[in-house]
Amino acid sequence: MIGLGTIVNVVAIIVGAAIGSFIKSGISERFKNIILQAVGLSVIMIGISGTLQGIYTVIEGGKLDRQFIMLMIFSLVIGGIIGEALNIELKLENMGKWFQGKFAKEGGAFAKGFVTASLIFCVGAMAIVGALEDGVAGNTATLFAKSILDGTVSIILATTLGFGVAFSFIPVLIYQGGITLLAGVIKPWLTPEVITQLSLVGSVLIMGIGINILEVVKIKVGNLLPAVFIPLIYYVMMQMI
């Protein structure tokens, strides 16, 4: 069944967030802070590992060679301009505040939980590659593995940011589901090289999310989301020339 991976992923996020929200009251503010810092550091390291994996390739003699650097920079700049024009991050925040007004009274934590979780679950190699595999071949293995990870992260995030984390299932459903549905159409252009480039840009954005969690500096990761798809657009344009 095409799309099953995303459905399972959505359920895992909701269940995980419900568990985390339930145990939230039993955790002191001191422990919530250290948990959030641990998550932030972990997310940064996931982003770094994915970025290095995409940038470096082993060449003759066992040496490392860099690849896709200029395309990565180009994708981030052009994607950032597009995202800033669309103001995606603000729209995500407003969506979180709307849900907060309708369903919760948690103050700013609800919207923050929604935006943070939405970006963590949508950006990254597993979301992109898993959704493509599901759409092209009906292979749900990657998204099932992602579901386990996302469910665990949902529990941890919800203990500090509340039930707003659960509502991140909506962007995940739209984002991953959309990629899965489009995968059949764009299949001719989904070469291993293009998928690596998509994952590389996604991993850079993952680092940005980790930095935001640690509150080192505010990076508008939401406005950088279009950057993930620039390598595919670039490849298609090159094929047409």
Calculate the average pLDDT of the chain.
89
Give the chain's largest Cα–Cα span.
Answer: 61
Query: 191 near 238, Cβ under 8 Å?
Result: no
pTM to 2 decimal places: 0.84
**Domain map of the chain by residue range?**
4-240
Helix (H) or strand (E) run with residue 141 in it:
helix 141-161
Amino acid at site 18: A
Give the count of alpha carbons within 13 A of 193, CB side only.
Answer: 8
- Exposure string of 178-207, with b = 16+ CB inside 10 Å and e = fewer, is ebbeebeebeeebeeebbbbbbbbbbbbbb
For residue 49, how many other CB atoms are within 10 A of its CB? 14
pLDDT digits (tens, 9 = 90+) for 182-241: 887 888 888 889 988 988 998 899 999 999 989 889 999 999 999 999 999 999 898 887
Write down the pLDDT at residue 185: 84
Provide the angle, in degrees to the nearest 10, between the axes of the packed helices 29-55 and 192-213. 150
Provide the angle, in degrees to the nearest 10, between the axes of the packed helices 29-55 and 141-161. 150
Low-confidence ranges of the chain (pLDDT < 50): none
